[in-house]
Amino acid sequence: MEWSEIYTPKPHIQDDWFNSINDSITLMKVQDTISTLPNNKASGPSSITYEDIKHLDAHTKQFLVEFFNLILTHHTYPSEWNKALLFPIPKPKDWNCQINNTRPIVLLETTQKLLVKILTTRLNIILSMHPILEHNNQAGLLGRSTIEPIIHIKHIIEHFNLTNDKNYRLVFKTSLKLTIV
């Protein structure tokens, strides 16, 4: 099949690279992550805001650490985290009772987002340290941007337009690389 190669495990990727994902979360990591949370954001179903989390006492922050580590150890999370608040925000056009004319906003629990932020940071570090992603798929990693892949695509298009050679054609390969053949 056309996509089977993409889903075949890559032999150079080692399982042990991902071991740190499940490392115990420390109080310091929770405090550091809490300090980066933005203010004035809407809360989830519990109405707990980021500001509420920022004002927790040391005992409650330690409870959060133990709670997060239980989730990592047992690979299960609260069933309440399956709930969210969904708000269909109208797009700048007539509503006409069409859901397509809205932009859905989903509000999740802030404690859930705090844990996800910690795990996402860990995953970002792993992806930055090891050759897991293709070069052009690294734009979302820390210290990377979308500018380099965009410049590559721009140069290919400019080359194509300058040469105006009918023998050239742009090809999107399944590895998401854009090349001239």
Domain count for the chain, please give it: 2
Whether residues 18 and 57 fall in one domain: yes
Q: Note whether 128 and 145 are same-domain residues.
A: no
- 115 and 27 both lie in a single domain: yes
For 32-48, write each residue's pLDDT tens digit.
Answer: 999 999 999 999 999 99
Are residue 101 and residue 27 in the same domain, yes or no? Answer: yes
Q: Which amino acid is at 160?
A: F
Q: What is the pLDDT of residues 62-121, one digit of tens each?
A: 999 999 999 999 999 999 999 999 998 889 988 888 888 999 999 999 999 999 999 999
Is the same domain home to 157 and 79? no
Domain, as residue range, for 76:
4-132
Q: Are residues 76 and 39 in the same domain?
A: yes
Burial 90-109 (b: 16+ CB within 10 A, else e): eeeeeeeeeeeeeeeeeeeb
79 & 99 share domain: yes
Are 168 and 100 within one domain?
Answer: no
Quick one: 146 and 115 in the same domain?
A: no
Looking at the structure, do residues 37 and 13 belong to the same domain, yes or no? yes
Residues 57, 75: contact at Cβ < 8 Å? no
Tell me, yes or no, whether 80 and 159 share the same domain: no
Alpha helices by DSSP H, the chain: 4-7, 27-35, 50-54, 58-74, 110-129, 147-163
Quote the pTM value. Answer: 0.74
